[in-house]
Amino acid sequence: MYDLNGQDIIVVGGAGYIGSHVCKMIAQQGGRPITFDNLSAGHEHAVQWGPLEKVDLCDRAALDTAFKNWSNATAVVHLASSIEVGIGEKQPAEFYTNNVVGALNLLDAMRVAKLDKLIFSSTCATYGETDKMPIEESDPQLPFSVYGKTKLAIEHMIQSYHKAYGLNYVTLRYFNAAGADESGLIGEEHDPETHLIPIAMQAAAGRRKELTLFGTDYDTPDGTCVRDYIHVNDIARAHICALEKFEAGLSKAEINIGTGDGVSNLDVLKTIGEVTGHVVPYVEGARRDGDLSKLYADKGQAKAVLGFEPIHSSLENIIKTAWNFHNSRWQNLEN
């Protein structure tokens, strides 16, 4: 893979789940990740591969100062955002402020700092409900959730900055990030946790009574939602591929980052039982606001434009690495 050769890369949200894995991979590839994070959702202990600049995207003056502090940086990876779909429906003010206002400040601070390369973490939730699967990048973007709407607004701002100010960008539309680094040092730790796999693991380990399965009457083969789970270290690799392509002259791209395989919520629970040997206790519940019935990626552009293909993303490996991480975290909490 690409040698970053000592480059400083600013990782906004580097203390978070995906961000910490991106930082680790930047360091592995010979670069230095500079984490910009307000630690509202991220964890200081996850910043292990480079310095931490504690800064809030909504504080424009502080952001300008932070960029001055790291004026050697060659590119920015932007992963900081509010992400829980259900919470966005109830608290749109928080989502639009953190995600859209924060990203506008970031784009503009980059313009002032003359930093012209950005990798942005967008989402499959920008596409909206459609029967056409797998989803291609050129398919209509009609987001259903507040979360998806905020990410699409940012995609549009980035396109405008490209056109008017020459910003080079790669927007990565992640499907469902899952799994953990094999070291067990970093993984998914949200508080409160809202995601399927970590909650199912808590239930499997007896750390919560059960999981509530949100909706069993969707128009899918087993009635539960279908998602495309991609290992977080594959997502991290996609960022290195994008940095390499900037070097080769890529100036703009929107790319799906998924495996192309649709997996139902029930499939996930069954595989957790098989891989961990612990059955996931669950009850059937109502649909969750903002959820789409199915989402899985066409991955052709990722290969064609970035030379990227997932290599860590079998559902078994995702579950094995996530289980390893959660068990070491629970042990640490108890000690």
**Interface residue list for ligand UDP (CB under 6 A):** 85, 176, 194-196, 199, 211-214, 225, 227, 265, 288, 291
Residues near 277 by beta carbon (within 8 Å), at least 6 away in sequence: none
Q: Is 297 left (phi over 0), alpha (psi -120 to 50) or beta?
A: beta
Least Å distance between CB 218 and ligand UDP?
A: 8
CA distance 214 to 216: 7
Residue whose token pair is 């991979």: 25
Least Å distance between CB 88 and ligand UDP?
A: 10
Least Å distance between CB 127 and ligand UDP?
A: 12
Residue nearest to ligand UDP (CB): 225
Packing angle, helices 315-334 and 196-204, rounded to 10? 60
> Phi and psi dihedrals of 30, rounded to 5?
90, 10
Active-site choice (17, 127, 147, 174): 147
Q: Which is nearer to ligand UDP, 35 or 145 (CB)?
A: 145
CA distance 12 to 9: 10
Q: Which is nearer to ligand UDP, 26 or 85 (CB)?
A: 85
CA distance 244 to 192: 36
DSSP string covering 155-196, please? HHHHHHHHHHH--EEEEEEE-EEE---TTSSS----SS---H
Least Å distance between CB 252 and ligand UDP?
A: 25
CA distance 303 to 24: 23
Active site residue 296: no
Q: Which is nearer to ligand UDP, 54 or 288 (CB)?
A: 288
Q: Which is nearer to ligand UDP, 85 or 115 (CB)?
A: 85
Q: Which is nearer to ligand UDP, 212 or 251 (CB)?
A: 212
Q: Which among 75, 95, 93, 70 has a CA at the least distance from the CA of 85? A: 95
Least Å distance between CB 5 and ligand UDP?
A: 35
Active site residues: 147
